[in-house]
Structure 1
Amino acid sequence: MKLWDHPMSENDFRQCLRIATGATLGFTISKIFGWNYGVFFTVTPMLLLGMVPVMSAHAARQLLAAAIVCGLEVGILGGFFGGHPGMMTGIAFVLFLYKFACMSKGTLFLFGANSVLSLSIMLHFASYPSSDLNDLIFSNLLANVLSVVIAYLMTFLIPDAEPRQPPARPSEPKGSHRMRHEALMGASIATLSFLVFQIFDLNDSMSAQATTLLLLFPMHWNGALGYARKRAMGTIMGVAFGMAGQLLLYDWSGMLVLIIPLLWIGAMLFSYMHVKESSGSGAGFGGLTTLGILYGQYLTPGNDLVFSALYRVSSIFFAIVATLLVTYLIHRLLNSFEATRFSAA
């Protein structure tokens, strides 16, 4: 499995600086103001700056639209049908279906990707009576707005050294049968993931839940299989860095002034890997998001990050195996029909 296939340029190094500094800034602001759901404020800048090398108004609109749409969906639909599991499952499938359809088209990939992650996590947390639904929706919206501001700030303070070449366009547009395949496969697995985490009451497995969705981002079986191996590698590295950081700080792990530089160093290392891979979502990106989840959600005074990290590893590995198995079965099922076949007949 080849990872280091992209030469590091000055633009790439500056992107690493933007990712690490932006994620650390989001984490710091959320901790200073004592906002809940710190994972939103840490991981969302990582996703935006990692997936969009050059910040643009189109990317900002997609991110903000995803936050607003998901907030309305969770607030209205979750409020009305949250107590009816059967109806909520059908509604969740429809919501996931159109979001994966947006991802399949390509031009709205960021909107769909951010919507899928936000909707799945928010629907799951909203189902618990102890969760404040308004706080959950507002935190996600605020995190997305702050991420856009941070991304523009990082672009202004750490601009590219030279203009980038526009991304290569696909030689041939996707066929309608492939787009149906990708949308149906993604929606089916995302809905099954939502059901499993609801049925087994897994309210402390956000990283595993995110993994089941991130595996779907390549939008096909072969891509999911390749990403699974890289995600497993990234998870191990992210967890190892998080555990080493807590062991280094020991009793001082609750001091924000010491946590911030460690988070920046870790984010910089994984950003470097992410850029060197040049694969969109690989081991570096997996390590980056794992680190963001650990620091953003589980690094709190009196919380044992080592136990949380070990639990993350076991739950993520199980999520990878289970998701790959279901992905393969659904891929084979959809390929049995001409209208939903992945490749041309």
Structure 2
Amino acid sequence: MKLWDHPMSENDFRQCLRIATGATLGFTICKLFGWNYGVFFTVVPMLLLGMVPVMSAHAARQLFAAAIVCGLEVGILGGLFGGHPGIMTLIVFVLFLYKFACMSKGPLFLFGANSVLSLSIMLHFASYPGVDLNELIFGNLLASVLSVIIAYLVTFLIPDAEPRQPPPRPSEPKGSHRMRHEALLGASIATLSFLVFQVFDLNDSMSAQATTLLLLFPMHWNGALGYARKRAMGTLLGVSFGVAGQLFLYDWADMLVLIIPLLWIGAMIFSYMHVKESSGSGAGFGGLTTLGILFGQYLTPGNDLIFSALYRVSSIFFAIVVTLLVTYLVHRLLNSFEATRFHVAS
């Protein structure tokens, strides 16, 4: 498995600085103001700055749209049909279906990707007893607004050294068969993930649930298989850094002045890996999101990050194996039909 296939340029190094600084700023502001759902404020800047090398108004609009749409979906549909599991399952499938369709088409990939993660995380949090749904929705919206502001700020403070070349266009547009395959594959696995975490009441396995969705970002079976190995490696590295950080902090885990530089160093390391891989969702990106979840959600006074980290890594590895098995079965099923066959060009 080749990871380091991309030479590091000055622009790449500055992107690493933007990712690490942006995620740390989001985490710091959240903690200073005592806001809940620190995972949103830490992970969303990572996603935005990691997936969009150069911040643009188009990316900002997609992030805002994802937060608003997911908030309305969870608030209205979840409120109306949350007590009806059968209807809610069908609704969740439709919601995931159009989000993965946006990802498959390309121009709205960021909207679809952030919507998939936001919807999954908010549904996950909403399953906790006593959760304030309004606070959850506005917390996600605030995190998105803050992430866009942070992204523009770090882009202004740490600009690229030279203009970037536009990303290469695909040699051939995707066929309708492939887009249907990708949308149905993603929606099916995401809905099954939602059902499993609801039926078994896995309220404390957000990392594993996020992993089942991140595995789908390559949008096809071969990509999911390749990403699974990188995600497992990134998760192990992210958890190892979290455990080492907890041991280093020891009884000072509630001192923000010590946590902030530790998070920045970890984010910088995994940002470097992410940029060197140049593969979108790889080991570096997996380590980043794992680190963001651990620090943003579980590193709190009185909480044992080591137990959380070990529980996280075991649940993530189990989720990877099960998700790959189900993905392969759904992939084979969809390839049985002409209209949803992945390899057939239009």
TM-score class, shorter: over 0.9
Residues 273 and 283, structure 1, Cα contact 8 Å, conserved in 2 = yes
- Partners of 1:294 and 1:305 within 8 A in 2: yes
Report if the CA contact (8 A) 2:126-2:133 is conserved: yes
Q: Distance in 1 between matches of 2:234 and 2:74?
A: 31
1:248-269, CA deviations, whole angstroms, 9 ceiling, x for partnerless residues?
1101111000000000000000
Counterpart Cα distance in 2 of 1:201 and 1:276: 38
TM-superposition CA deviations, 1:78-122 (whole Å, max 9, x none): 000000000000000000000000000000000000000111111
State whether residues 63 and 110 of structure 2, in contact with CA within 8 Å, keep that contact through their aligned partners in structure 1: yes
Q: Distance in 2 between matches of 1:238 and 1:10?
A: 25
Q: CA deviation at 1:125?
A: 1.9
Residue matched to 1:2: 2
Alpha carbons 1:39, 1:297 under 8 Å: kept: yes
In the other structure, the counterpart of 2:43 is 43
Q: Distance in 2 between matches of 1:273 and 1:126?
A: 33
Q: TM-score, normalised by structure 2?
A: 0.99
Superposition pairs of residues 142-221 of structure 1, within 5 angstroms: 142-221=142-221
- Cα distance per residue 1:13-71 (max 9 Å; x no partner): 00000000000000000000000000000000000000000000000000000000000
Deviation at 1:304, TM superposition (A): 0.3
Please state how far the C-alpha of 1:326 moved relative to its aligned partner: 0.3
> How many angstroms does 1:323 deviate by?
0.3
Deviations, residues 188-231 of structure 1 (Å, cap 9, x unaligned): 00000000000000111110000000000000000000000000
Shift, 1:123, TM fit: 1.7
Query: 2-side partners of 1:128 and 1:284: how far apart?
Result: 30
- Structure-1-length-normalised TM-score: 0.99
> How far apart, CA to CA, are the structure 1 residues paired with 2:35 and 2:128?
19
Give % identity: 91
State how far apart, in whole Å, the 2-side matches of 1:71 and 1:82 are.
Answer: 14
Q: In the alignment, is the contact (CA less than 8 A) between 2:216 and 2:224 conserved in 1?
A: yes
What is the deviation of 1:127?
3.1
Q: How many pairs does the alignment contain?
A: 344
Structure 1: which 5+ residue stretches go unaligned? none
- The Cα shift of 1:7 comes to 0.4
Unaligned runs of 5+ in 2: none
- C-alpha displacement of 1:128: 3.3
Let me know the Cα RMSD of the aligned residues.
0.7
Aligned residues of 2:41 and 2:296 also touching (Cα < 8 A) = yes
Which residues in structure 2 correspond to 1:57-72 (within 5 Å)?
57-72=57-72
The answer on whether the counterparts of 1:82 and 1:127 sit within 8 Å (CA) in structure 2 is: no
**C-alpha distance in 2, partners of 1:18/1:26?**
12
Quote how far apart the aligned CAs of 1:129 are: 3.3
Tell me the distance in 2 between the aligned counterparts of 1:203 and 1:311. Answer: 13
Is contact 2:124-2:206 (8 Å) kept? Answer: no
Moved over 6 A (4+): none
CA distance in 2, matches of 1:17, 1:220: 31
Quick check: 2:233–2:283 contact (8 Å CA) kept in 1?
yes
Report the alpha carbon displacement of residue 126 of structure 1 after superposing the two structures with TM. Answer: 1.7
- Structure 2 CA distance for aligned equivalents of residues 224 and 6 of structure 1: 21
